[in-house]
Structure 1
């Protein structure tokens, strides 16, 4: 028996997000990392992202859905997000990994809140931090301490990231009504409003900014 379209949409968008995160982190590690230690650390995070993709792909198959078909509706939006937010240096890459991926993960967690417990546990498992926060925060804060001028530049970059992320999220929700339903159902009964969800995502973004000292 196939799972509901909303669940397949959620697992499909999350699977492609994890696959594209793996590819992006691998590229950033090879081209932007300033040291071998940084390259190794980011590459390790990338491997974890690929493992998460495999878990999602396998679950989609178990649910009777074709993983490629489940991911296909989200390729254009996620590729556009990455194209519009391609980092130009190592610090921008770290901010994107922490801030950009963080707000997307909040989006997916919210959608999974009231799903079958086995699906919700899978989403939690693939969105586990795995040291991403500590890795990015430590390096960004150290860079700002060494060069305070970098703070303004990175703060502007982070604002651009969240703006693009929210825009893409709204487009995805509008294009996939079943996924939008999961999101609105996760809000308080009687007050379901997609704008409230995005306000909640903005709050979490502000906490991440503070953690980095931006």
Structure 2
């Protein structure tokens, strides 16, 4: 007589909500890395010199590595990366469609300021996931020194032509508005992500006042990045 095995019970309740939220975060990161690769590769074509083109190509290559690591982590959880990314196509694509840079410098500011807001948001959410997932999130979001490259190029352009600073400052303000709008949209549309931030039955989270302070931190960090670039926020 064949030995019968009892199927494992489905995960329900708070644990199910937590798992869905953690997987949403990884799906969000995966699609973010994929779109960042595509955008950086496109921006590289606008680079004024070969050294700048190589730098952006290197940045794009790192995004491919990040995507691969997240894909593998999702696979370990039995989740296909394509399915995990699907809910985030529309908000990401909408953001990039409304913030398409017109030139090399706008692309650099978007990579530093726009992506910086997203990185801060991911790190805020990652505070509420397990240690292994949190470590992966922080690893794939590490700067790798590319921020120094962007700051140097933007500050150099402003020194050469101070008028550039005003144009890029307006661009930075547009970026923060669009990025925060999309972050709020993702948080509102994905109940699982919201549950990570606000907590489930057995996992403490943020109350409404704390969520408000979180978005205030995102704006404060944006202001610091703009100042580092030599731009007024």
User: What is the TM-score when the length of structure 1 is the normalising length?
Assistant: 0.95
The correspondence of residues 148-187 of structure 1 with structure 2, limited to 5 A, is 148-185=162-199
Distance 1:93 1:163, change over 3 A: same
Distance, in Å, in 2 between the alignment partners of 1:176 and 1:59 is 21
1:29-83: CA deviation from partner (whole Å, max 9, x where unpaired):
02x1010110000000100011001100110110111111110000111011111
Which of 33, 40, 46 is the aligned partner of 1:25? Answer: 40
Distance 1:188 1:6, change over 3 A: closer
| Match among 38, 52, 58 for residue 72 of structure 2 | 58
Q: Superposed, which structure 2 residues align to 1:186-197 within 5 Å?
A: 190=207, 192-197=209-214
Report the Cα distance in structure 2 between the residues aligned to 1:174 and 1:42, rounded to whole angstroms: 33
Tell me what 2:102 maps to.
88
Partner secondary structure for residue 143 of structure 2: coil
Count of aligned residue pairs for this structure pair: 213
Alpha-carbon distance, 1:25 to partner: 0.3
- Report what 1:208 is aligned to: 225
Q: What per-residue deviation string (whole Å, max 9, x for no partner) do you get for residues 125-174 of structure 1?
A: 10000122101100000000111111110000000000000000111111
User: Which of 6, 28, 49 is residue 13 of structure 1 equivalent to?
Assistant: 28
Q: So what's the TM-score if we normalise by structure 2?
A: 0.87
Range 195-204 or range 154-163, more displaced: 195-204
Note the aligned Cα RMSD (angstroms): 1.8
Q: CA deviation at 1:178?
A: 1.1
Alignment-derived partner of residue 133 in structure 1: 147
Structure 1, gaps ≥5 residues long: none
TM-superposed CA distance for 1:27, in Å, is 0.9
Deviation at 1:195, TM superposition (A): 2.5
Paired with 1:198 and 1:68, the residues of 2 have a C-alpha distance of: 29
Does structure 1 conserve the Cα–Cα contact (< 8 Å) formed by 2:158 and 2:164? Answer: yes
Larger Rg: 2
Contact 1:9 1:70 in 2 (8 A): yes
Structure 1 CA distance for aligned equivalents of residues 204 and 130 of structure 2: 16
Aligned partners of 1:189, 1:44: CA distance in 2, in Å?
37
